[in-house]
Chains A and B, each alone.
Chain A
Amino acid sequence: MAEEATGGLQIHPMDQFIVKPLFGGDAIHWYTPTNVTLWMAISVLCVVLLLVIGTRGRAIVPSRMQSVAELAYGFVYKMVEDVAGKDGLKYFPYIMTLFIFIVFANFLGLIPTAFTTTSHIAVTATMALAVFFGVTILGFVKHGAGFLRLFWIDQAPLVLRPILAIIEIISYFVRPVSHSIRLAGNMMAGHAVIKVFAGFAGVLGVGAVFPLAAITAVYALETLVAFIQAYVFAILTCVYLRDALHPHH
């Protein structure tokens, strides 16, 4: 970005987000194995390691890995049950898939030199749009035209209802935008900030302790954000799912 122009200070905070083919070459076709492929594969590997290998003992008294897997399961299960209701539990595997993928993608992205797949709007928007179309179709399938009552707020005075309906419809269509940009933006910003501080550390010599301390602090914050953003993404999905299942406020 702008920093690139300032002579000796070589900071390329956005370079870490470049999608590159894994095995050389320039062209990125839809099927080309890229660093996206690599880090998504690693996250799949981690999911399998935690949730399949970790639980293979099926122990009544769980091992550490199994404990973590059960914790993740219970955490998402309870979230779906609390937010979307009992009938939302049918969709628990989908929400668990999204949550566990985002968690691992976020945390793997925190490894230095790693590629953060969830920092790309293409990835988060695909997931957000999948959720958006999924719950919208589900709402119409479950309630038919009655799903539109979601936008018609019965509790409000009659004169206000059309205005509220317009606002509700706009906010409904903004959902996938906020849903996706929130995650990608958080991931990108944190990583870029770390990279900027790292660039400072490179030219400051002994004074590098200050940017290094800042990197440490930002990294700690990013660790928190990595989890919270996955949680937020999953819980918003649950909220949208609840609206689709129970559109009558």
Chain B
Amino acid sequence: MASETHTAEGAAHAADAAAHGGEAVGMPQLDFSTFPNQIFWLVVTLVVIYFVLSRIALPRIGAVLAERQGTIANDIATAEELKLQAQEAERAYEKALADARAEAQRIVAETKAEIKADLDAATAKADAEIAAKQAEAEAQIAEIRAGAMESVTEVAKQTALDVVAAMGFRADASSVNAAVDAKLKG
């Protein structure tokens, strides 16, 4: 399709060229009769583009780029600042945490010491009580033991007396007692 339009156009060109006196025979680039025209329009074009660029487009784009550069630099500075702030906040947080931990530890130690003191006092008191009770009990036991010894002596004397009497002897109670005492001691 493209080729068709091209050939059609080519035919038109050929007709045109014929009208122009056989332009297409050589290189149209070397047809010097068209040079003034091309150069004139080129100069017009370049001047127009130059003014459009130097008056409007380039200053505008330059300003936009500079502004963007500034914005980016600003944003980076702000970000840097925020980062510093965050670091500071983190440090403060860490410090508070450490403080709280130390405080907690102090309280724990204090409480532990208090409890220990209470406990020691209670233990000492209990020990004292126990010791007193023990002494009392020991005294009682000693007393009971003494009582029992006495009863044993009594019974032994009576029994010895009875045994002597049963064997048909008359015995003096006091000598029997003395003999029993001696025997018990021995």
In the assembled complex, the Cα of A26 lies from the Cα of B34 at a distance in Å of: 11
In the assembled complex, the Cα of A48 lies from the Cα of B58 at a distance in Å of: 11
A residues less than 8 Å from B27 (CB atoms): 14, 17, 188
B5 interface contact, C-beta 8 A: yes
| Per-position binary interface string of chain B over residues 46-70, scored 1 when its CB falls under 8 Å from any chain A CB and 0 otherwise | 1011101110111011111101100
Chain B residue nearest to A18 (CB atoms) is: B28
In the assembled complex, the Cα of A40 lies from the Cα of B45 at a distance in Å of: 6
Determine whether the beta carbon of A15 is less than 8 Å from that of B37. Answer: no
B residues less than 8 Å from A120 (CB atoms): 28-29, 38
Determine whether the beta carbon of A19 is less than 8 Å from that of B61. Answer: no
B residues less than 8 Å from A48 (CB atoms): 52
Determine whether the beta carbon of A188 is less than 8 Å from that of B29. Answer: yes
B residues less than 8 Å from A18 (CB atoms): 13, 16-17, 20, 23-24, 28
Determine whether the beta carbon of B24 is less than 8 Å from that of A15. Answer: yes
B residues less than 8 Å from A126 (CB atoms): 38-39, 42-43
- A31-39, A142-150, A152-160 - interface stretch: A31-39
In the assembled complex, the Cα of A97 lies from the Cα of B68 at a distance in Å of: 24
Closest CB in chain A relative to B42 CB, distance in Å: 5
B54's partner among A4, A66, A93, A127 (CB-CB below 8 A) is A93
User: Considering only CB atoms and an 8 Å cut-off, how many residues of chain A contact the other chain?
Assistant: 65
In the assembled complex, the Cα of A47 lies from the Cα of B58 at a distance in Å of: 12
A28-B33 contact, Cβ under 8 Å, with A18-B28, A100-B49: yes
B2 interface contact, C-beta 8 A: yes
B19 interface contact, C-beta 8 A: yes
Interface range on chain B (Cβ under 8 Å from partner): 35 or more
A96 interface contact, C-beta 8 A: yes
B residues less than 8 Å from A55 (CB atoms): 57, 60-61, 64
A12 interface contact, C-beta 8 A: yes
Q: Is the interface of B mostly helix, strand, loop or mixed?
A: helix
A246 interface contact, C-beta 8 A: no
B residues less than 8 Å from A32 (CB atoms): 37
- Tell which of A28, A127, A195 has the most Cβ of chain B within 10 Å: A28
Determine whether the beta carbon of B61 is less than 8 Å from that of A70. Answer: yes
B6 interface contact, C-beta 8 A: yes
Determine whether the beta carbon of B37 is less than 8 Å from that of A19. Answer: yes
A residues less than 8 Å from B11 (CB atoms): 10
Determine whether the beta carbon of B52 is less than 8 Å from that of A47. Answer: yes
Closest CB in chain A relative to B112 CB, distance in Å: 63
A residues less than 8 Å from B156 (CB atoms): none
B residues less than 8 Å from A12 (CB atoms): 10, 13-14, 24
- A165-173, A196-204, A227-235, A237-245 - interface stretch: A196-204
A97-B35 contact, Cβ under 8 Å, with A17-B29, A18-B28, A58-B60: no
Determine whether the beta carbon of A202 is less than 8 Å from that of B3. Answer: yes
Chain B residue nearest to A40 (CB atoms) is: B45
B residues less than 8 Å from A208 (CB atoms): 3
A119 interface contact, C-beta 8 A: yes
Closest CB in chain A relative to B33 CB, distance in Å: 6
A73 interface contact, C-beta 8 A: yes
Determine whether the beta carbon of A51 is less than 8 Å from that of B57. Answer: yes
Q: Closest 7 CB pairs between A and B?
A: A15-B13, A30-B36, A51-B57, A202-B3, A19-B34, A17-B28, A12-B10
